[in-house]
């Protein structure tokens, strides 16, 4: 979804490797013998869960991996994929639960595979990442404690990435990238995917408010590198028992750095709040817990805080509009593409109906309760 409007090129962009072809890739590019392989859900790349047969050469490494095959558009920007790989390794070295990256038999972090498709010969970048343990946050009931921890994680990620350096770092300045939160106005060209209804009316209003009230404030936000997609399927958790016998969850994995770009601290917390609302039974109350966690690392300025409501609405619009458009291109992937839409439209309408002042009151009051040691 990140480049261009040509529907055919978009339809061709997602790889369609079979299990057998993917196994052969792992063996030829990474020199590992596959014992089991199965597809994983994905947006516009292709992912496989790969189990490796143990040999004398592989006893030291992981036995489970994720094979990532980038779509044809992403594969045209190998420098961006390289930066993503180095960020993953940098964060792992800094103590974050990110994947390790397996080198190819040629000693590289990625391989480039050309697939004969007749007149066109598309090329796909392939990577092999260690498989991380845990369950997606989407599958467990979210508690205030977990939401706070996830907010804190988002803050620590952005803080740590300020120390990251790489010769290709400028590749993260993705000015026309549809998923960068500042690009909400680019959704205008995809609105026909919504038809004529209240959903479309809300999106049109959000886009206009975004132009008037967010784009005019960007110079007042503090810039940083954003993960940009801390959604409830990209954060894995494992449980342990507390002293009282109930389950306490710790983050065990951070996935998918494919939407990384330069943005702002307030973008990261807004994106995280929006995705943590998706499966919540009291979605409007989520924001305060996530915000408190984030601000325990990076307190927002008053101008950043005042933008939070519209930024969360903007991310809902990005996710919902792009999913509707992608469904037209990839109807076979509808179940995965429409995960957010199942509750997202309802949450966005609720926020809009309540209004900025009422939602902010709940968020900021909840966040303030952490200062006094009484979480709500």
- Residue 174 Cα distances to 208, 226, 254, 344, 366, angstroms: 22, 12, 22, 26, 34
Active-site annotation holder among 229, 232, 256, 259: 229
User: Which fold is adopted by the domain 19-130?
Assistant: Phosphorylase Kinase; domain 1 (3.30.200)
Would you state the pLDDT for residue 240?
80
What would the 3-class secondary structure string for 260-287 be?
CEEEEHHHHHHHHHHHHHCCCCCHHHHH
pLDDT of 11 over the 80 cut: no
pLDDT of 309 over the 90 cut: yes
Would you state the pLDDT for residue 375?
53
Highest mean pLDDT among 16-20, 92-96, 197-201: 92-96
Average predicted confidence (pLDDT) for the chain: 89
Would you state the pLDDT for residue 337?
65
Mean pLDDT of the region 124-149 = 93
pLDDT of 374 over the 80 cut: no
Would you state the pLDDT for residue 5?
37
Would you state the pLDDT for residue 224?
97
Would you state the pLDDT for residue 111?
84
- Sketch the domain layout of the chain as residue ranges: 19-130, 135-372
pLDDT of 243 over the 50 cut: yes
Would you state the pLDDT for residue 113?
77
Q: How far is CA 71 from the centre of its chain?
A: 16
- Per residue in 257-297, pLDDT (tens digit) is 999 999 999 999 999 999 999 989 999 999 999 999 999 99
pLDDT of 345 over the 90 cut: yes
- B/e letters for 123-145, b = 16+ CB within 10 Å, e = fewer, are ebbbbbbbbbebebbbeeebebe
pLDDT of 333 over the 90 cut: no
d(CA 252, CA 241): 15
Mean pLDDT of the region 4-28 = 72
d(CA 8, CA 95): 42
SS3 85: helix
Exposure of 44 by Cβ count < 10 A (0-12 exposed, 13-18 middle, 19+ buried)?
buried
Mean pLDDT of the region 358-370 = 97
Pick from 230-244, 287-301, 311-325: least confident:
230-244
Beta-ladder partners of 238: 250
Would you state the pLDDT for residue 112?
79
CB 323 within 8 A of CB 278: no
d(CA 95, CA 150): 15
Would you state the pLDDT for residue 59?
59
The DSSP secondary-structure symbol of 331 reads G
pLDDT of 347 over the 60 cut: yes
The superfamily in CATH containing domain 135-372 is Aminoglycoside phosphotransferase (APH), C-terminal lobe (3.90.1200.10)
* Confidence class for position 1, pLDDT limits 50, 70, 90: very low
What percent of the residues of the chain are helix, what percent strand, and what percent coil, each to the nearest 5? 50, 15, 35
Alpha-helix residue ranges (DSSP H) falling in the chain:
7-13, 19-30, 78-93, 144-161, 198-213, 265-277, 286-295, 302-329, 334-337, 341-354, 356-371
Share of the chain above pLDDT 70, in %: 89
Mean pLDDT of the region 93-112 = 92
Q: Is 229 a catalytic residue?
A: yes
Sheet bearing 247-254, strands edge to edge: 135-136, 235-241, 247-254
Would you state the pLDDT for residue 54?
75
């Amino acid at each position: 979804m990140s480049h261009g409007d040509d529907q055919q090129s978009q339809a061709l962009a997602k790889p369609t490797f079979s299990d057998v072809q993917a196994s052969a890739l792992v063996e030829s590019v990474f020199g590992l013998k596959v014992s089991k392989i199965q597809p994983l859900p994905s947006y516009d790349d292709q992912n496989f869960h790969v189990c490796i047969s143990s040999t004398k050469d592989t006893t030291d490494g992981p036995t489970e991996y994720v094979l990532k095959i980038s779509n044809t558009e992403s594969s045209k920007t190998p420098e961006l994929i390289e930066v993503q790989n180095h960020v993953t390794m940098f964060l792992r070295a800094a103590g974050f639960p990110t994947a390790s990256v397996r080198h190819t038999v040629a000693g590289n972090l990625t391989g480039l595979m050309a697939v004969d498709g007749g007149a066109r010969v598309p090329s796909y970048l392939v990577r092999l990442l260690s498989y991380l343990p845990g369950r997606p946050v989407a599958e467990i009931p979210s508690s205030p404690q977990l939401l706070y921890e996830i907010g804190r994680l988002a803050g620590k990620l952005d803080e740590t990435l300020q120390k990251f350096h790489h010769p290709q770092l400028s590749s993260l300045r993705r000015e026309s990238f549809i998923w960068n939160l500042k690009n909400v106005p680019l959704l205008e060209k995809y609105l026909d995917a919504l038809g004529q209804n209240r959903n479309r009316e809300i999106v049109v209003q959000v886009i206009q408010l975004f132009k008037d009230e967010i784009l005019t404030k960007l110079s007042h936000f503090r810039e940083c590198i954003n993960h940009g997609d801390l959604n409830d399927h990209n954060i894995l958790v494992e449980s342990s028992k507390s002293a009282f016998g109930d389950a306490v969850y710790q983050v065990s994995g951070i996935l998918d750095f494919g939407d990384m770009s330069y943005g702002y601290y307030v973008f990261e917390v807004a994106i995280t709040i929006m995705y943590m609302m998706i499966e919540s039974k009291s979605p409007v109350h989520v924001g305060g817990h996530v915000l408190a966690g984030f601000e325990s690392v990076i307190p927002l300025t008053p101008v950043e805080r005042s933008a939070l409501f519209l930024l969360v609405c903007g991310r809902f619009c990005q996710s919902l509009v792009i999913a509707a458009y992608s469904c037209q291109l990839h109807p076979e992937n509808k179940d995965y593409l429409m995960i957010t839409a199942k509750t997202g439209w309802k949450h966005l309408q609720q926020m809009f109906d309540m209004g900025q002042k009422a939602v902010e009151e709940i968020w900021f009051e909840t966040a303030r309760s952490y200062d006094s040691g009484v979480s709500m």
